[in-house]
Amino acid sequence: MCDLFALSASRSYTAATSLPLFAVRGRANVHGWGIGFFRNSMPVVEKSGEKVFTDGRLHGSFQRLARVVNSPIIVAHIRYKSSGAVDECHAHPFTLDFWGQSWIFAHNGKAPAIEPYSSRCEPRLEAKSDSARILEFLRDCFMEAEPRRPHTPFIQVLKEALGRLLHDYPGEYNFLLTNGKVLWAFTNHRQFLLLKGSQKLEEALLLTTIDEGLSPEDWKRIVARPGSGGKILLIAGGDLLCLENLDPDLSP
């Protein structure tokens, strides 16, 4: 199964220590990798359909990006294919614009029910995978809610969209979504591990799905409790601002 990583800080950081550790510990995922960040408020995604770790070495481009990417929020994904082809197009992250902003999205999970989904909006992502359809579905929900944007909090529309997603397309969802200013995360099946103020890695807030974390420190485990719709996280700078259960009754 794929693995996710995010760094969030109040200033620009590189993840030169934690990103390589993430890649090494996630090396069982052999179907591609990607790193997303923002430069001058614009999303930048570098990705590959090649293995992130082979013959005892990290992919050269991944190593270079870990050293040079400098951003307040960095998102990374290492892929194990459950849907779609193995190529750069199907590697994560993906990007789309909605709610007046550009977004970077990376997903881990299995949601075959959503693969036939056909977006009502343009552009449509080229990738033919459940993850691409999930982002399009979220985008479409926010586009529907666009007239409410001036007076409706983002989290309210996100909760509504997730309720519809889980009702209409049941599956295992675990994703990261960022506009470069804040980082949203959601899971209904797999834990996140969170660490703030590491003594061994970057001092920024770190988030990953790697089971043991990325260092021998006190990583906080965030698990969706049985019977809940899942966990929603909101992170800004180096702080976890919101950690809520998604109300399963939100589904239509």
Measure the CA dihedral 75/81/86/89, to 10°: -40
Q: Residue 238: which region, alpha, beta or left (left: phi > 0; alpha: psi -120 to 50)?
A: alpha
Q: pLDDT tens digits for 36-86?
A: 999 999 999 999 999 998 888 898 999 999 999 999 999 999 987 677 777
Nearest to 52 by CA among 88, 28, 84: 28
What's the pLDDT score for residue 66?
A: 96
pLDDT digits (tens, 9 = 90+) for 184-217: 999 999 999 999 989 999 889 999 999 999 999 9
Are 78 and 22 in contact by the 8 Å Cβ rule? The answer is yes
Q: DSSP letters of 44-106?
A: EEEEESS-SEETTEE-HHHHHHHHH--EEEEEEEE---SSS-SSGGGSSPEEEEETTEEEEEE
Alpha-carbon distance values, 72 to 13, 101, 248 (Å): 6, 17, 33
Nearest partner of 239 among 181, 189, 158, judged by Cα: 181
pLDDT digit string, tens, across residues 116-141: 999 999 999 999 999 999 999 999 99
Structural domain range at position 19 = 3-250
Q: Give residue 246's identity as a one-letter amino acid code.
A: L
Q: How many domains does the chain have?
A: 1
Spatial separation of the C-alpha atoms in residues 234 and 108, rounded to whole Å: 18
Residue type, 108: N
Domain CATH number, residue 154: 3.60.20.10
pTM score above 0.75: yes
